[in-house]
Amino acid sequence: MLSVVSARYARALVDVVTAPGSKTDPAQVLSQLRAVQDLIHGSAVLQNALNSPAVAPSRKRAVMRRLLEPMGVLDQVRNFVFVVIDHRRAHDFASIVDGFETLLDERLGFVAAEVRSATPLTDAQRARLETQVSRLAGKKAKLKFSSDPTLIGGAVAHVGSTVYDGSVRGQLEKLRTRLGAG
């Protein structure tokens, strides 16, 4: 669940990136935000420094500037990281990035879906599922895939609060319900 604070930061960045006349590629911004998130998450020392009230914001910005420079991040991404740091929200960075992705998808007309399958899917199977879920949802679906060996076979897709159950277990349950009702 996205906190109110994280949503506020995420929405502000989505507004900047998708503003009319913006020449910024939203996918590039998301990719760079994820890279910064990985950088922060990968270092307990950096996390402690960014979250510590004993370290001056100017010092935090200086450290991040040196770390971000070789990454070649966009000015908007660097400035956004500085705003998050200045407002003592570094501990919320991962949540803000997740919120940014969700709000960006909504703004661009995508719907997020999670697909669990009994075994890893081939690229062709993933493409077919993406087409089917997009048709069912009425929007272009952006799928995240995972394997779930408890499914026996088939797949289960979650789009918001709607579940599309194409698993063997789900089909057997439906059949058992129909047979029991007769």
Contact 102, 112 (CB under 8 A): yes
Helix, strand and coil content of the chain, in percent to the nearest 5, comes to 65, 15, 25
Note the pLDDT of residue 164: 80
Divide the 182 residues of the chain into consecutive groups of 10 and give the mean pLDDT of each group.
Answer: 84 93 92 96 95 94 96 95 94 94 88 87 90 86 87 83 78 79 60
Note the pLDDT of residue 75: 93
Note the pLDDT of residue 182: 55
User: CA distances (Å), 54 to each of 16, 57, 61, 64, in order?
Assistant: 31, 9, 14, 16
Measured between its terminal Cα atoms, the distance across the chain in Å is 42
Q: What is the torsion angle, in degrees rounded to the nearest 10, for the CA atoms of residue 23, residue 25, residue 30 and residue 33?
A: -50
Long-range Cβ pairs for the range 124-129 (8 Å, 24+): 129/155, 129/157
